[in-house]
């Protein structure tokens, strides 16, 4: 039963697909965060995204404005879903997860 929670939607987090992401990427007033490792990010990333690895997100989140919309992405959507959960717990109001991650682009 514990494993199933990894696949359930995170309350208060919107999920979008790669096509929807392409229509909003680069818009002002939003944070675009890639939560993959530094190596993964260097290997391939989407323009407009900043790299904050999942393991560093909680400690670096205080540098972000909690009132701005945050879009998170990873390789497959699992780590970004975890990141979205972390951000919601830290008080971020508008969090969007890219379902399928980089694989969906």
pLDDT digits (tens, 9 = 90+) for 12-38: 999 999 999 999 998 999 999 999 999
pLDDT at 4: 45
pLDDT value, residue 2? 45
Cα–Cα–Cα angle for 59, 60, 62, rounded to 5 degrees: 95
**In the predicted structure, residue 8 carries a pLDDT above the cut 70:** no
Quick one: what percent of the chain has pLDDT higher than 90? 89
- In the chain, the domains with their CATH numbers are 13-104 (3.40.250.10)
In Å, how far are 25, 28, 47, 59 from 68, measured between CA atoms?
14, 10, 19, 18
- What is the reported pLDDT for 9? 67
The residue annotated as part of the active site, out of 74, 84, 95, 98, is 74
3 is annotated as an active-site residue: no
Q: Which residues pair with 31 in a beta bridge?
A: 70
The whole-angstrom separation of Cα 46 and Cα 66 is 23
Residue 6 has pLDDT above 60, yes or no: no
pLDDT score at 11: 85
């Amino acid at each position: 039963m514990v494993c199933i929670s990894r696949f359930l939607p995170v309350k208060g987090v919107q999920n979008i697909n790669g096509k929807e992401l392409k229509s909003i990427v680069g818009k002002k007033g939003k944070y675009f965060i890639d939560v993959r490792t530094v190596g993964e990010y260097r290997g391939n990333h989407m323009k407009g995204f900043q790299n904050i690895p999942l393991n560093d997100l909680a400690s670096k989140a205080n540098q972000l404005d909690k009132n701005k919309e945050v879009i998170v992405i990873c390789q497959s959507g699992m780590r970004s879903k975890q990141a979205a959960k972390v951000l919601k717990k830290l008080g971020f109001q508008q969090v969007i997860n890219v379902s399928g991650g980089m694989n969906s682009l």
